[in-house]
Structure 1
Amino acid sequence: MKDTILLVGHGSREKSGNDEIERFAALWRARHPHWRTELCFIEFAEVEVEDGLDLAATGSERVIVVPLILNAAGHVNVEIPSHIARARLRHAGVRFDYAPHLGVCEPVLEVLRRQLKQCMHALDMPDPTGTGVVLLGRGSSNREANGEMARMARWLFEEGDHELVDLAFTGIAWPRLERVVQRQVQLGMRQVIVLPYYLFTGTLIQRIGRQVEHLRLQYPQVRFASGTHFGFEPEIAQLLAGRVDALMHGALAAVPVSDEAAQWEAHHHDHDHAHPHEHAHPHEHAHDHAEHGH
């Protein structure tokens, strides 16, 4: 069967974010020269999902759609399936298989575990009992997406001796980083580690860096360390490649995509513009989309 892999990145207003995803795709092609691989983006890029699907379908018998996305919100559950459903109508002779998003799994936990260990080594007092941890992701109006992050925070807590492993969001959902750090300091944490839950750089990663610098000024008595986005960690590519291989050989079932998904309209998808709490906090940039590749 003539297979084509279609990697789907989120896309960013910040060019460096899209450049990183392009570089990820280039490394992927180098590692898997026997696979034909194409790349598209959900938004903020020249080649978006509709065009990517058409490109991948050309000359192919099967297209395996691989989302470079950590959590299952509107993009994963509604938007990409709708594009796949419409592509099936345009390319009747082509089979489209949809791979799972990265999700909550041991390989992603291993990346976070390693980042946490590196941050601890960078601190003056590597004592987990006095060091709070904040897992910081992009919030969603989808409770399942927020719940996946909560599971990962719980897993991190159970892995070590940190008294506090809390969850914070850069937008849409609550609490925000500043409030979580305030609580941890009030509870006696002398050090705080911020772990961004993002695959690639972008506007939100840049904002997180500015926020951590602001917190250092606000709490001079507290030591801060922060991780970084982790799309190039080996576990990510290995996890995706394993799923592609399993789909190709029938060892993994594709994510179901219903015919009704073709009726989806753009205003239904989860860009989280209208979370009611946002209107009470106009200084929060609710319009910033996920950079989670997110």
Structure 2
Amino acid sequence: MTAPALLLVGHGTRDEAGAETFRAFVAQLAAAHPELPVGGGFIELSPPPLADSVAAMAADGVREFAAVPLVLVSAGHAKGDIPAALAREKQRHPGTSFAYGRPLGPHPGLLAVLERRLDEAVAGADRAATTVLLVGRGSTDPDANAEVFKAARLLWEGRGLAGVETAFVSLADPSVPAGLERCRRLGATRVVVLPYFLFPGVLPDRVREQAHGWARDAPGVDVRCADVIGPEPELAALVMERYHETLGGDLRMNCDSCVYRVKLPGFEDRVGAPQQPHHHPDDPGHDHGHGHAHSGHHAHSH
């Protein structure tokens, strides 16, 4: 009997290096776990489309899928787009079943990689005189933004840093320049800008550009930019952890501050909002306009 497949689901990126890193990571996991069918696809922007990956695995006889979203926080893609895409694949392939795992962060393994990226950027300088600006993607979902702040606090604890502040590169405040200015006003003379992203892409590049742009006008602050998390062993181990907990039904989703279940100020209209699939532009038979992209107006079920 074929073991349930590990299906990695990414959002997609217009950056080819980022898309290739995802594809190589899927191949890396497949090579490390020959006992499992392993595949992966994107919901938009990059090949292969999720639909193609599922079709190929279904053609090989796979009937059970454990889908792990390769995202760090529970924003609109994790809460709405990916579950809806999986529901669509179940309809396309009668007899298949899809269990859906939770996003990856924050997790001690990823915090360990972030610390390693920090050390690479600090390059032997005193941690006690170093402030970190952890930069997340940003979302219109306050719950997702709060998760980035949680990761920042966990990174600060016990690591001997002067402080860890938080910023976002899109859709949420504070921005990267505003975050750096806050660090400066708090007395920072050395700031490591640490992107909270898994792989290279357009947004991590933008983080670096904005940090360098701010630094040109702030000669008294040593601004250093760290690398993204990348396909490290800790990430591979975490994906397998999510896979096994998904099979066991141990999802532990946080619904206490979810805008689709709880009336948060300014987001009352989202409670109970219907799921809307986010069709990949290469998905046969589905035209998808991007007018709602990144709006965060998606529901989710647990």
Pick the TM interval, shorter chain.
0.7 to 0.9
**Does residue 1:98 correspond to 2:100, yes or no?**
yes
8 Å CA contact retained: 1:82, 1:262: no
| Matched positions, count | 267
Judged with a 3 Å threshold, the aligned counterparts in structure 2 of structure 1 residues 222 and 122 are, in CA distance, closer, same or farther, namely farther
Q: Residues 88-118 of structure 1: CA distance to partner in whole angstroms, max 9, x if unpaired?
A: 2333311211121102221122222222233
2:293 to 243, 262, 271: 271
Taking a change above 3 Å as real, the CA distance of residues 182 and 247 of structure 1, as seen in their structure-2 partners, is closer
Map of 1:287 onto structure 2? none
User: 1:72: which partner in 2?
Assistant: 74
CA–CA separation in structure 2 for the residues paired with 1:270 and 1:122 = 45
Give yes or no for contact 2:76–2:296 (8 Å, CA) kept in 1: no
Please give the alpha-carbon distance, in whole angstroms, between the structure 2 residues aligned to 1:6 and 1:269: 28
Q: CA deviation at 1:274?
A: 9.1
Q: Distance in 1 between matches of 2:83 and 2:9?
A: 12
- Determine the C-alpha separation between the residues in 2 that align with 1:4 and 1:202: 27
Which stretch of the first structure deviates more once superposed, 185-194 or 265-274? 265-274
Kindly tell me: are residues 241 and 274 of structure 1, through their superposed partners in 2, closer, same or farther at Cα, counting changes over 3 Å? closer
Residue number in structure 1 paired with 2:190: 191
1:244 and 1:107 map into 2 onto residues whose CA distance is 15
Task: Tell me the equivalent position of 2:8.
Answer: 7
Alpha-carbon contact 2:80-2:275 (below 8 Å) kept: no
Q: Percent identity?
A: 34
Alignment partner of 2:120 out of 118, 121, 141 = 118
CA contact (8 A) 1:7 1:39 kept: yes
Q: Structure 2 CA distance, aligned partners of 1:204 and 1:132?
A: 22
Instruction: List alignment gaps of at least 5 residues for structure 1.
Output: 276-294
Per-residue CA deviation, residues 129-153 of structure 1 (Å, 9 max, x unaligned), is x322100011000111101101011
Q: Normalized per residue, which structure has more helix?
A: 1
Distance 1:7 1:265, change over 3 A: closer
Aligned to 2:48: 47
1:178 aligns with 2:177: yes
Cα deviation digits, residues 191-214 of structure 1 (max 9, x gap): 111110000111112222222322
With CA pairs under 8 Å and 6+ residues apart, which has the higher RCO, 1 or 2?
1
C-alpha RMSD of matched pairs (Å): 2.7
Moved more, 261-270 or 138-147: 261-270
Q: Secondary structure at the residue paired with 2:123?
A: helix
Contact 1:66/1:100 (CA < 8 Å) preserved in 2?
Answer: yes
Structure 2, gaps ≥5 residues long: 254-271, 279-288, 298-302
Please list the CA deviations of residues 130-187 of structure 1 after superposition, one character each: whole Å capped at 9, or x if unmatched: 3221000110001111011010111122223334311100010000111111122122
Decide which moves more: 132-141 or 220-229. 220-229
TM-score by length of 1: 0.81
Q: Scaled by the length of structure 2, what TM-score is found?
A: 0.79
Aligned to 1:282: none
Q: Which residue of 1 aligns with 2:262?
A: none
Report the counterpart of residue 33 of structure 2 in structure 1: 32
Residues 262 and 177 of structure 1, relative CA distance in 2, 3 Å threshold: closer
CA gap 1:161/1:16 in 2 versus in 1, 3 angstroms: same
